[in-house]
Amino acid sequence: MANPVAAQLADALAGSWPAIARPNQLPPAGDWQVWLLLAGRGFGKTRTLAEWVCHQAAAGQAGRIALVAATAADARDVLVEGQSGILAVAPPWFRPVYEPSKRRLTWPNGAIATTFSAEEPERLRGPQHDAAVCDELGSWSRPETWDMLQFGLRLGRHPRCLVATTPRPTRLIRELLAREGGDVIVTRGSTYENRANLAPGFFAQIIRKYEGTRLGRQELNAELLDDVPGALWSRARIEEARWPVHKQVPDLVRIAVAIDPAASSGEEADETGIVVAGKDANGHGYVLADQSGRHPPTEWARIAIRLYQSHKADRIVAEVNNGGEMVEATIRMIDRNVSFSALRATRGKVIRAEPVAALYEQGKIHHVGGFPTLEDQMCQFVSDFDRARAGFSPDRVDALVWAFTDLLVEGLPNEGYYEWLRQKAEEYSKPPGGDFEPPPKTVLAPGSVEWALEQAKKELERHQ
């Protein structure tokens, strides 16, 4: 007769992490201090982090563990509560007690893990740890968080840190790669390796979006990409002029919130670029915030107005070529008192961006902290930029350019005359007999600008 206890034990072992993990998801051998896991989207980085933490706690190899993610929400929603997070993978006989208000997990043997946000490096100044995990290090906005973590990683005989991230050519990741072969072990993996465990819809969507593009080499194959030859910006220039977050920014004489609106919303839509920038009395510019993302119209309007208020901005500026009056109308529905200025593109993206890129070359624009996604777009923006080949639309760059065009770039001689000629050309192109008014639309096409505005109005009415 089969032993039921033995059968249960066999089932547990068969489903254990060492039995089902791929080799590059298991801790490497050797006397390492940092395990750097560079992997594409959907590789299983979060599961690897969570399983390693649970093993450290269960084996008694770590009693104080730091869980550090790009934001507090990421630490909570991904590392702890996520579908592949610690609570999901912990075995039922050794589950930690989670106290969200204390940002703390406590295992039956007394091991404790605490969550931290990379946006708040000061929180890591006092605590000490004997193990740490760092999620998406390439997306951390404040690199000094890493330094604070290392200062406190000093408990026990052999403190260790697991870093799992999609590779970005940031200074910090390059420094870790330079230590490969010493106290840093590097493991690499691609999205394709985990295809069997990914939902077919997700896999098809991410492959359709990134495969065959330069960005796909980073996001799918986990390649560390250098600056694109011919790009208008370089990481070295951005880094040289970067302004530390802890250092006081000079008094700013003007601040603008710039919006580059997407024509539609949804998972497949472009992002709406939202960037806050300012200038000081000496003509230097400062990037203060990047809140770009895929937002419906009322949401990006609320974000822009919130930034306008929190940064005490002078005005919101936005491109109106794509959205026409919809942009200002959406903002006015939320707050009628916001100072707004419409900007109309009369030149192409690259021509508009060149004067701003020149200011970077002169060291006159500073990023206050880090903006990884924005900087990725900047360093891939070339004179013959093709969004299909690049794998993304440069919406964040567009918003950045609009901000500094408004703040720092002087108008071209006779620019007003050229605009007058453009307007006259539009007038002459209209049919005789006066202005042509299109017939009213009875059915609005989903995803169109008019449809988006109508949805925004309905949403606002529901909340009133």
pLDDT tens profile 144-179: 999 999 999 999 889 999 999 998 888 899 899 999
CA distances from 19 to 55, 192, 245 (A): 14, 20, 45
Mean pLDDT value across residues 37-66: 94
Q: Is the pTM of this model over 0.75?
A: no
Mean pLDDT value across residues 56-78: 94
Q: Note whether 144 and 211 are same-domain residues.
A: yes
pLDDT band at 208, cuts 50/70/90?
A: confident
pLDDT band at 380, cuts 50/70/90?
A: confident
Domain end point (choices 195, 219, 243): 219
Domain hosting residue 52, numbered range: 12-219
Reading the block at residue 186, the tokens are 């590097």
391 neighbors 216 (Cβ within 8 angstroms)? yes
C-alpha angle 390-136-388 in degrees, rounded to nearest 5:
10
- Cα 389 to chain centroid, rounded: 21
Position 450 in a domain? no
What are residue 437's phi and psi, to 5 degrees? -110, 120
Mean pLDDT value across residues 441-456: 64
pLDDT at 238: 92
pLDDT at 120: 93
Position 263 in a domain? yes
Query: What is the overall mean pLDDT for the chain?
Result: 85
Within 159-310, strands assigned E span 160-165, 184-189, 252-260, 273-280, 285-290
Q: Choose between 322 and 211: higher pLDDT.
A: 211
pLDDT at 2: 47
pLDDT at 142: 87
Q: Note whether 203 and 242 are same-domain residues.
A: no
Q: Note whether 45 and 158 are same-domain residues.
A: yes
Residue 365 has pLDDT above 80, yes or no: yes
pLDDT band at 225, cuts 50/70/90?
A: confident
pLDDT band at 68, cuts 50/70/90?
A: very high
Q: Note whether 22 and 151 are same-domain residues.
A: yes
HSE value, Cβ hemisphere, 13 Å, CA-based, for 105: 28
What is the signed CA dihedral for 404, 405, 409, 410, rounded to 10 degrees?
Answer: -150
Instruction: For residue 272, count other CB atoms closer than 10 A to its CB.
Output: 29
Indicate the residue type of 89. V
Q: How far apart are CA 129 and CA 66, in angstroms?
A: 7
Residue 391 has pLDDT above 80, yes or no: no
CA distances from 5 to 14, 211, 285 (A): 14, 48, 68
Q: How far apart are CA 149 and CA 271, in angstroms?
A: 33
Domain end point (choices 407, 426, 456): 407
Q: Note whether 36 and 173 are same-domain residues.
A: yes
Residue 222 has pLDDT above 80, yes or no: yes
Position 427 in a domain? no
Mean pLDDT value across residues 133-137: 96
Range with the largest mean pLDDT of 4-8, 10-14, 352-356, 419-423: 352-356
Residue 110 has pLDDT above 70, yes or no: yes
pLDDT at 393: 80
Position 442 in a domain? no
Residue 10 has pLDDT above 50, yes or no: no
Which of 63-72, 170-179, 228-237, 441-450 has the weakest average pLDDT? 441-450
Q: How far apart are CA 126 and CA 51, in angstroms?
A: 26
Q: Choose between 137 and 384: higher pLDDT.
A: 137
Q: Look at the chain and report how many structural domains it folds into.
A: 2
Position 162 in a domain? yes
**Spatial CB neighbours of 308, under 8 Å, sequence gap ≥ 6:** 257, 315, 316, 338
Q: How far apart are CA 163 and CA 149, in angstroms?
A: 12
Q: Note whether 250 and 186 are same-domain residues.
A: no
Q: Note whether 196 and 268 are same-domain residues.
A: no
Q: Note whether 165 and 270 are same-domain residues.
A: no
Q: How far apart are CA 131 and CA 129, in angstroms?
A: 6
Q: Note whether 194 and 244 are same-domain residues.
A: no
Position 350 in a domain? yes
Residue 242 has pLDDT above 70, yes or no: yes
Q: In terms of DSSP H, where are the helices of 220-296?
A: 235-240
Beta bridge partners of 187: 37
393 neighbors 271 (Cβ within 8 angstroms)? yes
Q: Which pLDDT tens digit goes with each residue over 396-406?
A: 999 999 999 99
Position 57 in a domain? yes
What's 293's domain CATH number? 3.30.420.240
Which of 115-129, 181-195, 256-270, 300-314 has the weakest average pLDDT? 256-270
Percent of the chain at pLDDT above 90?
Answer: 51
Q: Which pLDDT tens digit goes with each residue over 249-266?
A: 999 999 999 998 887 666
Q: Note whether 198 and 347 are same-domain residues.
A: no
Q: Note whether 120 and 239 are same-domain residues.
A: no
Mean pLDDT value across residues 239-253: 91
Mean pLDDT value across residues 133-138: 95
Reading the block at residue 278, the tokens are 């300012």
pLDDT at 198: 80
Domain end point (choices 390, 407, 424): 407
Q: How far apart are CA 460 and CA 333, in angstroms?
A: 7
What is the signed CA dihedral for 327, 421, 407, 234, rounded to 10 degrees?
Answer: 90
Residue 90 has pLDDT above 70, yes or no: yes
Q: How far apart are CA 366 and CA 261, in angstroms?
A: 24
What's 95's domain CATH number? 3.40.50.300
**Spatial CB neighbours of 56, under 8 Å, sequence gap ≥ 6:** 62, 65, 111, 131
Q: Note whether 239 and 206 are same-domain residues.
A: no
Position 451 in a domain? no
